[in-house]
């Protein structure tokens, strides 16, 4: 018998569609997804791939503003939609919107199992604010269980004192087959892709928002420290946009060394080509709940250099095996790791194979299995 699951999340992000499709395809789950908005164009220019959606969904009427750096999103009709869907389990991806609190109250009043799907971890800079932590704990108190992507989030929930309430792991995933297939095509057509995009023969790759807290300035410094021989042979490619882009470009011109190139925001199809020809992905973030670009890069068979602050580290990156883990803000450690990969073709090849192997465990199917297990763990109505 199918379990009616309603999943609440913010936007129709392209990396979520494959995992929701996999869950919908599971015969024991009747999935409905409530999106609080189609997209957030003020932060990212993601295309909305509606033609790929194979699950039932609804986008709530919404009003969004950014005030003093904070994202305010207000919705209508949450309770009315839940009344119509009559879920037996509600899973909510976050607590930072009014609609999430409305859904929590709706479920608690009806004794419907309510679970928080959370990526937060103790290293997340947002966890340093007392008001945020107080609201988070209050929200947690109303939850019957939790779904997390990996070990860092699981340990964080335990530290917050969720007691013996169940925590399920649904490993964060991207469309592994798409990225693997597309990056392989890029390598098979490397000369044409390099010419069309204007890529260096060899390069380290950063993918993500260009904001200081992602460690992009430290990455530029680490690249410059590689030495003249490496700078002459290998470039640094930034794919993404953000508030520090002009400053970062000015810094790169000021340094005047190597081949530093900026390509702006890229949609999913273009991303696979950038990954496919790179030496490695570098994510030197100060704070990141997970870091799905690491999943994407590993699906494209790339070694990865990631800071310890990324939530994905414990689950995806093994020091010296498929990449390197460095302290955030540590330019020397970052440059040393980059130099090690630059100098050894054997090491790069070994790490590439291991990344591709490891990311298979973080597939949409694996995420769907974890989420389905969570959805079936409770009776349809709590006593």
The tens-digit pLDDT sequence of the chain (383 residues) is: 799 999 999 999 999 999 999 999 988 999 999 999 999 877 778 899 999 999 999 999 999 887 766 778 999 999 999 999 999 999 999 998 999 999 999 999 999 999 999 999 988 755 556 777 788 889 999 999 999 999 999 999 999 999 999 999 999 999 999 999 999 999 999 999 999 999 999 999 999 999 999 999 999 999 999 999 999 999 999 999 999 999 999 999 998 878 999 999 999 999 999 999 999 999 999 999 999 999 999 999 999 999 999 999 999 999 999 999 999 999 999 999 999 999 999 999 999 999 999 999 999 999 999 999 999 999 877 86
CATH number, residue 32: 3.40.50.2000
93 and 12 in one domain? yes
H/E element holding 196?
A: helix 190-197
Q: Which of 312, 359, 337, 324 is nearest to 124 (CA)?
A: 312
240 and 194 in one domain? yes
What number of CA atoms fall less than 13 Å from residue 315's CA on the CB side?
27
211 and 340 in one domain? yes
Give domain status of residue 380, yes or no. Answer: no
Give domain status of residue 194, yes or no. Answer: yes
Helix (H, G, I), strand (E, B) or coil at 34: strand
**Phi (first) and psi of residue 187, to 5 degrees:** -70, -35
Q: Provide the pLDDT for residue 123.
A: 81
Give domain status of residue 284, yes or no. Answer: yes
Torsion of CA 340, 342, 343, 344, to 10 degrees: 80
Nearest-angstrom CA–CA distance, 303 and 324? 8
Nearest-angstrom CA–CA distance, 318 and 140? 31
105 and 55 in one domain? yes
Q: Provide the pLDDT for residue 381.
A: 77
Give domain status of residue 287, yes or no. Answer: yes
Q: Provide the pLDDT for residue 68.
A: 66
Give domain status of residue 383, yes or no. Answer: no
Q: Which of 18, 9, 15, 11 is nearest to 368 (CA)?
A: 18
Structure tokens at 24: 């919908």
Q: Provide the pLDDT for residue 42.
A: 73
232 and 160 in one domain? no
Give domain status of residue 92, yes or no. Answer: yes
Give domain status of residue 381, yes or no. Answer: no
14 and 124 in one domain? yes
In sequence order, the β-bridge partners of residue 33 are: 7, 57
Domain span including residue 290 = 176-359
123 and 40 in one domain? yes
Q: Residue 346: CB partners within 8 Å, gap ≥ 6?
A: none
Give domain status of residue 144, yes or no. Answer: yes
Give the strand pairing for 259-262 and 235-239. parallel
Identify each DSSP E strand in 201-352 by its residue range.
203-207, 235-239, 259-262, 280-283, 304-307, 323-326
Question: What is the 8-class DSSP label of residue 303?
Answer: -
319 and 183 in one domain? yes
- The model carries a pTM of 0.94
Residue position matching structure tokens 């494959």: 18
226 and 131 in one domain? no
Structure tokens at 131: 């008001």
Pair 2, 29: CB distance under 8 Å: yes
**Phi (first) and psi of residue 199, to 5 degrees:** -90, 150
231 and 142 in one domain? no
Q: Provide the pLDDT for residue 69.
A: 65
Nearest-angstrom CA–CA distance, 240 and 104? 35
331 and 240 in one domain? yes
Pair 187, 276: CB distance under 8 Å: yes
What is the total count of domains within the chain? 2
295 and 153 in one domain? no
């Amino acid at each position: 018998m199918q379990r009616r699951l309603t999943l609440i999340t913010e936007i129709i992000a392209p990396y979520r569609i494959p995992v929701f499709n996999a869950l919908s395809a599971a015969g024991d789950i009747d999935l409905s997804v409530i999106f609080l908005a189609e997209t957030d164009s003020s932060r990212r220019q993601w295309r909305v791939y509606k033609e790929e959606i194979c699950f039932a969904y609804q986008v709530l009427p919404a009003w969004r503003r950014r005030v003093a750096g904070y994202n305010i999103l207000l919705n209508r009709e949450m309770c009315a939609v839940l009344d119509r869907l009559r879920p037996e389990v509600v899973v909510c991806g976050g607590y930072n919107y009014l609609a999430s609190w409305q859904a929590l109250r709706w479920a608690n009043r009806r004794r419907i199992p309510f679970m928080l799907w959370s990526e937060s971890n103790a290293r997340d800079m947002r966890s340093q604010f007392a008001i945020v932590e107080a609201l988070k704990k209050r929200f947690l108190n109303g939850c019957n269980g939790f779904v997390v992507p990996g070990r860092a989030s699981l340990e964080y929930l335990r530290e917050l004192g969720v007691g013996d309430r169940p925590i399920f792991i649904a490993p964060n995933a991207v469309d592994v087959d798409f990225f693997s297939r597309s990056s392989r095509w890029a390598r098979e057509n490397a000369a044409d892709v390099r010419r069309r995009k204007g890529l260096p023969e060899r390069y380290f790759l950063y993918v993500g928002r260009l904001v200081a807290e992602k460690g992009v300035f430290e990455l530029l410094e680490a690249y410059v420290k590689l030495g003249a021989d490496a700078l002459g042979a290998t470039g640094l490619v930034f794919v993404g946009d953000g508030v520090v882009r002009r400053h970062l470009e000015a810094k790169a011109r000021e340094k005047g060394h190597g081949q530093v190139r900026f390509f702006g925001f890229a949609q999913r199809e273009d991303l696979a080509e950038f990954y496919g020809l790179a030496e490695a992905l570098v994510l030197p973030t100060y704070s990141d709940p997970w870091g799905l670009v690491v999943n994407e890069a590993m699906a494209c068979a790339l070694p990865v250099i990631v800071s310890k602050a990324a939530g994905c580290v414990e689950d995806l990156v093994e020091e010296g095996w498929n990449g390197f883990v460095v302290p955030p803000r540590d330019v020397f450690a970052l440059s040393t790791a980059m130099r090690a990969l630059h100098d050894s073709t054997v090491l790069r090849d070994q790490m590439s194979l291991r990344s591709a192997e490891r990311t298979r465990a973080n597939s949409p199917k694996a995420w769907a299995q974890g989420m389905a297990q969570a959805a079936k763990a409770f009776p349809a109505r709590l006593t």
